[in-house]
Amino acid sequence: STISQAISNFHDVGKSADIEKQNYFIFGKDKKYEIDIASDLESRQDAFQLMYTLYRSPEMEYALEDPTQMWYSKFNASAHTNIIVVRDFQTRKIVATLTIVIDSELGLPLEENYPGQIREFRSKKRLCAEIISWCFDENVNHSNEILVELFKYSYLVSKVVYNVTDFFIMIKPRHALFYVRKLLFVPIGNEVNCIKINNKPVMLYH
């Protein structure tokens, strides 16, 4: 596939023909983790449940109680959305996840809080994508390394497969320094209270 071919040039996953055929790459000390796209229902449900568990925690309190015990939105039903997961290579357990929403007729989640922010980009025929719903298992190690690899993979999929030109993300202001220094985001919106995460403050970054 297009993703498989790109990964073989993007990340050192070894010379094994079996590995190169896969849509994932392996990273971390002792090759502990793998990144992949959640392409089956079970993987998606596991990712939604991980997000719900973390977002319901006292430290975050993003999610309201839901009988499904899953965190999702209308964008997850779109063909323009990709759910990326990090698994423990040995146990196969999902330990982190991140979702990329490609701009389409459905729009982007950020428009609920920043309805006019990407109008200029669209007018210039730029293709935008928003990164949403990322989280880690609270027991996972190397969280910063995992986050960086998640963003690398997100860029790879978005750029190579969809020809995305611009990334957006809404983050809590107190987390901004990491995104600015490590991931090169810049703020383009004032602080607002985000309805989706229980009216917690966020800022829009590009």
In whole angstroms, how large is the CA radius of gyration of the chain? 17
How confident is residue 113, by pLDDT bands cut at 50, 70 and 90? very high
Please answer whether residues 54 and 138 qualify as being in contact, where contact means their C-beta atoms are separated by less than 8 angstroms.
Answer: yes
194 contacts: CB under 8 Å, gap ≥ 6? 112, 113, 170, 200, 201, 202
Mean pLDDT over 72-83 rounds to 91
Instruction: List the one residue out of 11, 73, 72 whose CA is nearest residue 36.
Output: 11
How confident is residue 14, by pLDDT bands cut at 50, 70 and 90? very low
How confident is residue 63, by pLDDT bands cut at 50, 70 and 90? confident
Q: Report which of residues 55 and 24 the model is more confident about.
A: 55
Q: Which two tokens stand for residue 201?
A: 């403050």
The reported pLDDT for the residue numbered 22 is: 52
- Beta-bridged to residue 130, according to DSSP, are 101, 168
The reported pLDDT for the residue numbered 11 is: 47
Mean pLDDT over 143-158 rounds to 86
Mean pLDDT over 99-117 rounds to 93
The Cα 156–Cα 158 span in angstroms is 6
Question: What Cα–Cα distance (Å) separates residue 94 from each residue in 139, 154, 158?
Answer: 12, 17, 21
The Cα 194–Cα 50 span in angstroms is 21
